[in-house]
Amino acid sequence: MAAGKTLIAYETSGGATEEAAKKIADTLRSKYRLEVDLVDLKEQKVADLAQYQNVIIGGGVRVGKAYEKALKFLENNFANKKIAFFVSSAEAETPANYEKAKVKFVEDTLSKYPNINAVAIEAFGGHVKMIGKTITDNTDFSRVEAWAEELGKNSPNKEVGTKACALLCPVCCVEYVEVEFDFELDGVILHNVKALRCPSCKEERFTSEQCEVVTKRISDKVNYQRSNEGT
Ligand SMILES: Cc1cc2nc3c(=O)[nH]c(=O)nc-3n(C[C@H](O)[C@H](O)[C@H](O)COP(=O)(O)O)c2cc1C
């Protein structure tokens, strides 16, 4: 996961996916200090997807398929966001069935959305309740919590003010290196701008400190240009 806001959008019928979504949210908030919004796709719409850097999508499985609203949500444009996807399924409960369930309900599902390159996927057990009575319960929230911890560990949210050498690319798990380049924003060009680059995937990002420096340099330059225009 990346620094910034996280959305967990889920669809549930029997409640297992909601319980998993809440466990993930609690873990990311309490252990990794991430800002997390939970959206039940049956009840609410996602107000502004653009505000999220990380999106975790979850859905239950019935009759061999993940729930429709969760699938529909996968059609969104997630460019530049870190995506994770999980399902709750009775078939994911035992070691014998787990791999099959993960392939069938998670990997095969995501293969229909080629624009999504998920950073993490998982199949958790679910439960079946009828008239308030639990018929089967294959949930294991310690597994859900462990998955959330992996997501949290890969979040560079704690980078603010720390050195570049302490930061890992959340996709490649490789240390970022500091680079300098010319940077252009709305026609304003800055030379020797410092940023971080992953040596593996080449993705670049600013630390909060670097972002502040760039913002100040742009505003100084714009103000300078404006004051010269007036003379
Ligand atoms: C009518 C029905 C059909 C189901 N079909 C499947 C299935 O095909 N494969 C599976 O792994 N689990 C199946 N399950 C179990 C669900 O995956 C389990 O109840 C899970 O908790 C659903 O997620 P939810 O509780 O968030 O709705 C089914 C459950 C019900 C009640």
Q: Please tell me if the CB atom of residue 16 comes closer than 6 angstroms to any atom of ligand 1.
A: yes
C-beta of residue 33 within 8 angstroms of C-beta of residue 50? no
Cα separation of 193 and 162, whole Å? 18
How far is residue 15's CA from residue 19's CA, in Å, rounded to a whole number?
A: 6
Ligand 1 contacts CB of residue 138 (under 6 A): no
Contact 195, 206 (CB under 8 A): yes
Compute φ and ψ for 79, nearest 5 degrees: -55, 135
Secondary element (H or E) of residue 212: helix 208-229
Do residues 18 and 25 touch, judged by C-beta distance below 8 A?
no
Would you give the distance in Å from CA 135 to the centre of its chain? 33
Q: pTM above the 0.85 mark?
A: no
CA distance 66 to 61: 4
- Quote the CA–CA distance of 53 and 154 in Å, as a whole number: 13
- pLDDT value at position 174? 80
Q: Judge contact between 75 and 113, C-beta under 8 A.
A: yes
Residue 10: the pLDDT is: 98
Per-residue pLDDT of the chain (231 residues; tens, 9 = 90+): 766 799 999 999 999 999 999 999 999 999 888 999 999 999 999 989 999 999 999 999 999 999 999 999 999 999 989 999 999 999 998 889 999 999 999 999 999 999 998 999 999 999 998 888 888 999 999 999 999 999 998 775 544 333 444 578 877 778 888 999 999 888 889 999 999 998 888 888 888 788 888 888 999 999 888 888 765
User: For a substitution probing ligand 1, which of 122, 128, 131, 143 has the most ligand atoms within 8 Å of its CB?
Assistant: 128
User: Are the C-beta atoms of residues 106 and 85 closer than 8 Å to each other?
Assistant: yes
Domains of the chain and any CATH numbers? 5-155 (3.40.50.360), 160-229 (3.10.20)
Q: Is the CB of 169 under 6 A from ligand 1?
A: no
pLDDT the model gives residue 157: 52
- DSSP symbols for 41-92: TTT---S-GGGEEEEEEEEEEETTEE-HHHHHHTTS--TT-EEEEEEE-GGG
Task: Tell me the per-residue pLDDT of 1-56, one tens digit each, with 9 for 90 and over.
Answer: 766 799 999 999 999 999 999 999 999 999 888 999 999 999 999 989 999 999 99
CA 25 – CA 20 distance, rounded (Å)? 9
pLDDT of residue 227: 87
- DSSP annotation of 175 reads B
Whole-number Å distance between alpha carbons of 54 and 70: 16
Binding site membership of 128 for ligand 1 (Cβ less than 6 Å): yes
Contact 81, 55 (CB under 8 A): yes
